[in-house]
Amino acid sequence: MKSNGENIKLVARDLNLHYGDHQALQDINIEVYKNKITALIGPSGCGKSTFLRCINRMNDLIEIVKVDGDVVIDGKNIYDKDVDEVAVRKRVGMVFQQPNPFPKSIYENVVYAPLKHSMVKKGPESDELVEVSLKAAGLWNEVKDKLNSPGTSLSGGQQQRLCIARAVAVKPDVILMDEPTSALDPISTQVIEELMLSLKERFTIVIVTHNMQQAHRIADYTAHFHLGKLIEYDTTSNIFDKPGNSVTRDYIGGLFG
């Protein structure tokens, strides 16, 4: 695949990851494009979520994990000694499989991290950020009258959009989404998919999904992981219409997975 340096946001080079003795990722090389949605697909245990968590160094939280290789974002390897993983996670936001709002009000959910990062001050600045972020997540109209009720009082789909608003509020460059709709009903899923399409104007999005149709619908690029290896990476249309790899063909055709 030919690469266009201008539009590349993130590059993984010879990335290997071990859980103790078990190798979970093997020589991953991938270039993720700016302002595009890249879907990571593959059967359970293939390493796609593990790879996703390499991009914001969430794997560092697990003691037995050892990462070799580079993940370069905007020209800097985030695994360099002089990079603080907390700073990485501020630039690379994350949305999880289960909606996980903080046990606080909707307002505080959105504004807590920006306040900690000293991006805004309490008062009107915070109010504005909350409004902008909730609007970006398409949640503003539903919650504007109950910003002080607990985030957990919302429905599952609304909670997930609150989590997206919370991630957006920190103004990251990249948003990682780990099966963000797998716990949601089809209607909420559709809302979130539309949301992702609108968010890619401002963010680079990497999404892990088990849902082939979802990858097909929203992703610009699709990467297929299998047994810890990246076996095929191409535009979504190429992957789905003319997969080059027989394993990919079988997986997409529903032969296993």
Partner 1 sequence: MNNNPFNDPGLAKRHRGAWLFKLYTKISIVFTLAFLSFFIFDMVRTAWPALWQTYVQVEVSYTAQSVKVTRKAIDRKYSKIVSRAWLRTIPQQVKDKPELLGTTQLRWVLADDQVDQYMKSHHHNLKSKQIKIVDDLVSKNKIKLDWNDIFLSNGDSKIPEYAGIQSAIVGSVLTLLVTMSIAFPLGVMTAVYLEEFARDNYFTRFVEVNINNLAAIPSILFGLLGLSVFINLFGLPRSSPLVGGMTLALMTLPIIIVSARAALRSVPDSIRQAGYGLGLTKQDIVKDQVLPVAMPGILTGSIIGLAHAMGETAPLIIIGMIAFIPDSPGSIMEAATVLPAQIYTWAGMPERAYVEKTAAGIIVILLILISLNATAIYLRKKYEIKW
Note the residues at the interface with partner 1 (CB under 8 A): 56, 58, 61, 63, 86-91, 93-96, 98, 100-104, 112-113, 116-117, 150, 152, 163, 166-167, 170, 176
Cβ at position 243, least distance to partner 1 in Å: 32
Query: Residue 70 Cβ, how far from partner 1 at the closest point, in Å?
Result: 21
The full DSSP string for the chain is: ----GGGEEEEEEEEEEEETTEEEEEEEEEEEETT-EEEEE-STTSSHHHHHHHHTTGGGGSTTEEEEEEEEETTEETTSTT--HHHHHHHEEEE-SS----SSBHHHHHHHHHHHTTSS-TTHHHHHHHHHHHHHTT-HHHHTT-TTSBGGGS-HHHHHHHHHHHHHHT--SEEEEESTTTTS-HHHHHHHHHHHHHHTTTSEEEEE-S-HHHHHHH-SEEEEEETTEEEEEEEHHHHHHS-SSHHHHHHHTTS--
Indicate the residue among 196 and 239 with the shorter CB distance to partner 1.
196
Q: Which is nearer to partner 1, 95 or 199 (CB)?
A: 95
Least separation in angstroms between residue 240's CB and partner 1 is 30
From the CB of 133, what's the least distance to partner 1, in Å? 12
CB of 77 to partner 1, least distance (A): 18
Shortest distance (Å) from residue 219 CB to partner 1: 21
Structure tokens at 175: 């948003």
CB of 59 to partner 1, least distance (A): 11
27/32 Cα distance (integer angstroms): 16
Smaller CB distance to partner 1: residue 112 or 140? 112
The residue (of 87 and 197) whose beta carbon lies closer to partner 1 is 87
Burial 191-208 (b: 16+ CB within 10 A, else e): bbbebbeebbeebbbbbb
